[in-house]
Structure 1
Amino acid sequence: MQIPDITGGMPAIDHHSHASVSRFRTVRQIEEHFATAHMEANVPAEVYDAFIAARNQGDAAALARLEADHGTQTLLDRGLLFRSTTFFATALREGCRQLYGPDADWDTQMRTAQEWGARGPSFTYDAAADLADTPIILTDVPYLDRTVWNPTRYRQVIRVDAYLYPFHTTETTLRGTEYQRFHTTFGNVLRTELKQYGMDTPPASFDAYLQFVDASLERRINEGAVALKLASAYVRPIDFGRAEQAEAQAAYESFAAGRSGDRRALENFLARRAAQVACDRGLPLQVHVGMGHPEPGMLMANTAPFLLEGFLNTRSLNRLKITLLHGGYPFSSDCAALVQTYGNVYLDFSWMPYLHHFYLRQKLAEWMEILPANKLLFGTDTAAPEFHVAAAHYARDSLNVVLDQGYQRKVWSAQQTEWLAQRILWENTAELYGLDMPRRA
């Protein structure tokens, strides 16, 4: 039976992406970036660390030595072969097919990708957004060059995590490099922001540090950020419990003096302070919940959405609009329970359209039957234009299937199916962020 195209002709807002965050990457480089787990599990930990460092630095000689001594590239190739059966691989190929020529062979598509990549940092993403009919894309990046990336289309979301770890290091006993990578990013952003205010290191006084954080956040919001985000699930539990300012101050000033302190009290106080800023400014707060990248480093237990309950029950934050990202896989039903319970909590299913096929349809059916019509948000969660196209394609496809099945089961009327599609694809995000959709030509 043919599924009706309920979403056809409807624009979409990409609620969560990383557009502009990375330079042009070939499809091979994209695949390798997400295929390191097999190699990590088959070499000594220090060899894996050396491989990631050499790859990040583009050190071809070091990579050649690691392959000769440990077979790192051979293991990576083997991992790619194993991952070729995943929906991730299927979606990447489909995105390339649609973006670079549905009737072209693979080599021609890759030549087109190279040609487009040479035409400027935003050219291919603009083409992908036009094809996907996503006139607005929210992008989680530290800084956005609005002279290159059209500010009408690309709206910046900024992470507040950089402010939570003023005296942190990347040292860890964990496997993989996720923990180190995220703390490195947080530290780089913090140093960049400190330099904006004439500082090389955090000030000795906690009051001075809070003044800096307030000024930095205010400036970045005034420059165009439309939301704040917490990505700390990659490095710690997301409970963000209550902490008094005196506790946070004692910890901060102890660290500033080179001593130890209650790191969690400091982090929690700063996270809640940033959330209050978002609430007071009427900005949504995005929170990463659930699985991370396919590499050891993140502790899954740290990402469970029920850890947020104490934070969500903060009375002064009852009007803060909070979006839980990525459908919270594998805690997708737990996320729905929170979103159903709290009127100010929403659920985005970015990342899922190009990682899951059958599972996404199952969860959409579950979510759409239990959640109010204003609670679900479409997103892609990608820096790769190929995945942007694929995610939009498969999200629409899944919505068409689930809405039609619901209509056949008499869950929704025909009018409600169209309304739900429109709400999920763009209206919910537009209302949440106060966005006006551009007029069509």
Structure 2
Amino acid sequence: MSEEIARFVYSLPIIDTHEHIQDENARIQGPHDPISIFLSHYLSTDFLISGIDPKTLEKLRDPSIPLDEKWSDFVKFWELSRNTGYARVIRIILRDIYGEEEITFESIKRVAGKMKEMCRKGFYKYILKDRANIELCIVDVSKTDVDRELFAPVLRFDDFIYVHSRDDIKRLSKKVGVEIKSLRDMIKALRTSVERVKGSIVGIKTGLAYNRTLLYENVDFKEAEMIFNKLIARESSHLSFEEVKPLQDFMMHYLATIAGELGLPIQIHTGLQEGVWNDLRNSNPLLLIELLREHKNTKFDIFHAGYPFSRELGALAKQFPNVYLDLCWLHAISPDAARRILSEWLDLLPVNKILAFGGDYVFVEGAYGHAKIARENVIKVLTEKIDSGDMTLDEAKYVARRILRENALELFPIRK
């Protein structure tokens, strides 16, 4: 039975809900240094929390520094971190893509040579479609000019929300090409900016949990306007977060209104933040309740399973029809946690509420390695459900098809 569900899961072309994959031409141009590439995302955080000096990490990330000059530092912190989910992604990449079972000085040199040889036009298609069986990646790369065979973009409008000073408004005016002198100008500029790209994007992304609390209170226009006027009157200093928060909250609610009118889901970062010294208290998905309740016609794709607040997020989705739960990034953060959360959510929620995979990597091989862990997790969870009698094989196949593919196709305006 497990072999049959495994074959089925691996046969499914995934819709990957979240990536940051760099442009293929930039990757082809190089440099082709495995250490700097693998430490560009996620594994670097494990190195930092295991004790590496940030200056040493920057040395490891510098592709101009020869391998023999950084190998001893790299291998020291690799050995400390090789047990993590992030490292598991790298080990899968090395084995499956580059044919190396272990990281050694000699194997990394061979990988560098293979990277240089393989990184040519069509490399992304080979990794994503031929090897990972990913039909389409939803990408957050700050542009809409992407390879539509592989990618569908979302865009951020956080600079309309996260304002603190008159200079922020000036920069925003320059970006949109319209002078913003009033709050009405600002909301008009936001609407125009979103409507201009609505046919080119499949959603809106916000990552402000890295910068501020996710508590977006419902603020009326007059209060927001008073703060805008105070902000615009200041020549040099900026307002404190406490002073400017109502204006930011108002703009987020206005963005949610626009998104609902245009049928664009909003992807929201919640839970763990990448890097170190972040404030997890800002990113609890329960802080979103007021925003979710006020915008019943807007669909919200809540990222990263809210980890470590995943149980709270599951309960949130149990009460809000406009909330969808996304396991993107989580299979790499902790494969075990991802399995436990997915199993619980399948008991808790209708199957159309769950999105099982988003790679969330900047280098394309990361999507492959992460997708493999995700497929194995789905197989293990569904096998357990079948073995316990909670699902039949056909029911498990239906669930796999929904959470790895069909739910994303229904949630996002993906043009086939």
Bucket of the pairwise TM-score, normalised by the shorter protein: 0.7 to 0.9
Cα deviation code 1:308-366 (max 9, x no counterpart): 1111111xx11211111111111111111111211111111011122222222111111
Q: 1:253 aligns with which of 191, 205, 229?
A: 229
Larger mean Cα displacement after TM superposition, 350-359 or 394-403: 350-359
Deviation for aligned residue 1:9: 1.3
User: 1:166-315 maps to which residues of 2 (within 5 A)?
Assistant: 166-167=163-164, 191=171, 194-195=173-174, 197-198=176-177, 203-222=180-199, 224-258=200-234, 261=239, 262-296=243-277, 298-314=278-294
Matched, 1:139 2:157: no
1:128 correspondence with 2:127 = yes
Contact map agreement 1:3 1:404 (CA 8 A) in 2: no
State the identity as a percent. 24
Counterpart residue number, 1:160: 157
Q: TM-score, normalised by structure 1?
A: 0.79
Q: What letter is aligned with 2:127?
A: A
Deviation at 1:292, TM superposition (A): 0.9
The alpha carbon displacement at 1:124 in A equals 3.1
For 1:161, the aligned partner's letter is D
| Distance across 2 between alignment mates of 1:277 and 1:21 | 29
| Cα distance, 1:138 vs structure 2 | 0.4
Structure 2: which amino acid aligns with 1:391? H
1:36 Cα deviation after fit:
5.4
TM-superposed deviation, 1:126: 2.2
> Partner amino acid for 1:164?
I
TM-score w.r.t. length of structure 2? 0.84
CA distance in structure 2 between the aligned counterparts of 1:204 and 1:320, rounded to whole angstroms: 29
Give 1:165 deviation, angstroms: 2.4
Is the aligned partner of 1:11 residue 2:16?
no
Q: 1:358/1:38 Cα in 2 relative to 1: closer, same or farther (>3 Å)?
A: closer
Given the alignment, which residue of 36, 39, 43 partners 1:29?
36
Q: What does residue range 61-76 of structure 1 map to in structure 2 within 5 Å?
A: none
State how far apart, in whole Å, the 1-side matches of 2:19 and 2:138 are: 6
Aligned residues: 393
| Partner of residue 395 from structure 1, selected from 374, 388, 392 | 374
For residues 214 and 430 of structure 1, do their structure 2 counterparts lie closer, same or farther at Cα, with a shift above 3 Å needed?
A: same
Aligned twin of 1:94: 92
User: 1:161-191 CA distances to partner (integer Å, 9 max, x unpaired)?
Assistant: 1211244599xxxxxxxxxxxxxxxx79x94
Q: CA–CA distance in 2 between the matches of 1:367 and 1:388? A: 23
TM-aligned CA deviation for residue 195 of structure 1: 3.7
Output the amino acid matched with 1:15: T
**Secondary structure at the residue paired with 1:139?**
strand
Judged with a 3 Å threshold, the aligned counterparts in structure 2 of structure 1 residues 347 and 418 are, in CA distance, closer, same or farther, namely same
Amino acid at match of 1:271: M
Aligned with 2:111 (options 104, 109, 112) = 109
Residues 406/2 of structure 1: CA separation in 2 closer, same or farther (3 Å cut): closer
Q: Deviations over 1:131-180 (max 9, x none)?
A: 1111111001211333xx2x14311111121211244599xxxxxxxxxx
Q: Using the alignment, how far apart are the partners of 1:371 and 1:107 within structure 2?
A: 48
Distance 1:116 1:88 in 2: 23
Q: Report the alpha carbon displacement of residue 55 of structure 1 after superposing the two structures with TM.
A: 9.3
RMSD value over aligned CA atoms? Answer: 3.4
> In 2 relative to 1, CA 196–416 (structure 1 residues): closer, same or farther, beyond 3 Å?
same
Measure the CA separation in 2 of the matches of 1:93 and 1:111. Answer: 17
The answer on whether the counterparts of 1:325 and 1:347 sit within 8 Å (CA) in structure 2 is yes
Supply the AA of the counterpart residue of 1:380.
G
Deviation at 1:40, TM superposition (A): 8.2
Determine whether 1:422 maps to 2:401: yes
Seen in structure 2, the aligned counterparts of structure 1 residues 304 and 145 have a Cα distance that, compared at 3 Å, is same
* Cα distance in 2, alignment partners of residues 2 and 404 from structure 1: 6
Matches within 5 A, 1:47-86: 78-86=76-84
CA distance in 1, matches of 2:263, 2:324: 15
**For the structure 1 residues 212 and 135, does the alpha-carbon distance in structure 2 shift closer, same or farther, using more than 3 Å as the test?**
same
User: Which SS does the other structure have where 1:254 is aligned?
Assistant: helix
1 CA distance for matches of 2:63 and 2:185?
A: 41
Q: Cα deviation per residue 1:7-54 (whole Å; 9 max; x = unaligned)? A: 1311110011112369436431144344257658979xxx95x88999
Specify whether residues 272 and 41 from structure 1 end up closer, same or farther in structure 2 by C-alpha distance, changes over 3 A only.
same
Q: Is the 8 A contact 2:157 2:206 kept in 1?
A: yes
Which of 271, 280, 303 is equivalent to 1:325? 303
Question: Does structure 2 conserve the Cα–Cα contact (< 8 Å) formed by 1:32 and 1:76?
Answer: no
> Which 5+ residue runs of structure 1 have no aligned equivalent?
64-71, 171-186
Unaligned runs of 5+ in 2: none
- Tell me if structure 2 keeps the 8 A contact 1:17–1:137: yes
Q: What amino acid is the match of 2:36?
A: Q
Q: Is the Cα–Cα contact under 8 Å of residues 21 and 383 in structure 1 kept in the other structure?
A: no
Deviation at 1:267, TM superposition (A): 0.6
Quote how far apart the aligned CAs of 1:102 are: 7.0
SS at 1:313's partner residue? Answer: helix
- Superposition deviation, residue 207 in structure 1: 2.0
For 2:412, the aligned partner's letter is: Y
Is the 8 Å Cα contact of residues 183 and 225 (structure 2) preserved in structure 1? yes
Deviation at 1:430, TM superposition (A): 0.2
Summarize the Cα distance change of 1:162–1:125 in structure 2 as closer, same or farther, 3 Å threshold.
farther
On the 8 A contact 1:289/1:328 being kept in 2, the answer is: yes
